[in-house]
Amino acid sequence: MKQRVFSGIQPTGKITIGNYLGAVKNWVYLQEKYDSIFCVVNSHAITTKQDPYLLREQTYDMVAILLACGIDPKHSSLFIQSEIDTHPALSWILNCNIPMGEMERMTQFKDKAQKNPKNINVGLFDYPALMASDILLYQTDLVPVGEDQKQHLELTRNVAQRFNRDFGECFKIPEPLIAKSGARIMGLDDPTSKMSKSSTAQNHAIFLLDTPKEIEQKIKKATTDSHSSIVFDPDRKGVYNLLCIYELFTQKSREEIETEFIDQGYGVLKKRIAEAIISTLSPIQEEYLKIRHQIDYLAEVLNQGREKVQPIAESTYKKAKELVGLI
């Protein structure tokens, strides 16, 4: 039996090359090796105010993008979170077994609350419980996570271990699966902060559906420094970030890349980075445009994914419910 991998992505905001290199590209690789379950976590998205029509459209946009990137329904189960009601149902049981202190320590809540002080709602605070439910429902072995989600996964592991101890064996304890590279692509305008699809800064991120001209312009404006050499030096954050992006898009070794840019300037580096990004994204964009409005096809993929995973989720929830004494 293959080990099971579960991961999810919010549909709001345009997907960036950081999301692609740090998560989605890795998912495509993982689906050949693991029993893979991937979820568009639209319920998580409503912790901030959303336009209902736009949220529905963005949810299907994300499904089409994931398929265009290479998520294969023959090898993976892809579904929409809100279509399986056991996600919020299990999160209530988990809520009743998570101490307030554990939730209050979640740094992501603190960061989001600081950025949006007028929208500090219970759902935003409770986000990690629903995330734990997403993972535990499917008896997940491994969760591909970035550094910023490790704390949430640790909470998931804690609540699962505590539940199994107090009520009886129910949940598999998931382990983190962290990519060796690509897990943290930084902003082009500010290489000290992670590239984010929620940023409104014009030259912060490259999105998967950006035109070649937009990509070229954003790379041209990317932060570098006043040094003359082009080498992988983590202390030179702007250049290091650009080189990491080039490394991941070309699959060249660091030695090859440093040799390639001996006696070259940043203009040449940025030109080749833009070319590498455009050549990778062009077929993804073509496939996305081809399938985005094939609603019957998207519905078939999602129904197939839901029908495959729903029995797993219902079985887990039924067991948890019985163990805590709910009828």
Contact partners, residue 112, CB within 8 Å, separation at least 6:
124
Name the CA radius of gyration of the chain, rounded: 21
Distance (Å, rounded) from C-alpha 67 to C-alpha 71? Answer: 5
- Told to judge if 308 belongs to the known catalytic residues of this protein, a careful annotator would answer no
CA distance 75 to 319: 28
Q: What is the DSSP letter of 170?
A: -
DSSP 191-240: TTSB--TT---TTS--BTT--HHHHHHHHHT----S-S-----TTSHHHH
Query: Is the Cβ–Cβ distance between 269 and 242 less than 8 Å?
Result: yes
88, 144, 184, 212, 312 from 191: Cα distances, Å: 37, 23, 11, 22, 41
Three-class SS of residue 37?
strand
Residue 279 burial (CB count, 10 A):
12
How far apart are alpha carbons 265 and 270 in whole angstroms?
A: 9
Give catalytic status of residue 118 as yes or no. Answer: no
The residue annotated as part of the active site, out of 25, 112, 218, 270, is 112
Residue 33 is among the residues annotated as catalytic for this protein? no
Question: Is the CB of residue 88 less than 8 Å from the CB of residue 43?
Answer: yes
Q: Which of 12, 74, 7, 94 is nearest to 45 (CA)?
A: 12
- Choosing from 14, 172, 197, 308, the catalytic residue is 197
Give the C-alpha separation, 223 to 213, whole Å. 18
As annotated, the active-site residues are 112, 194, 197
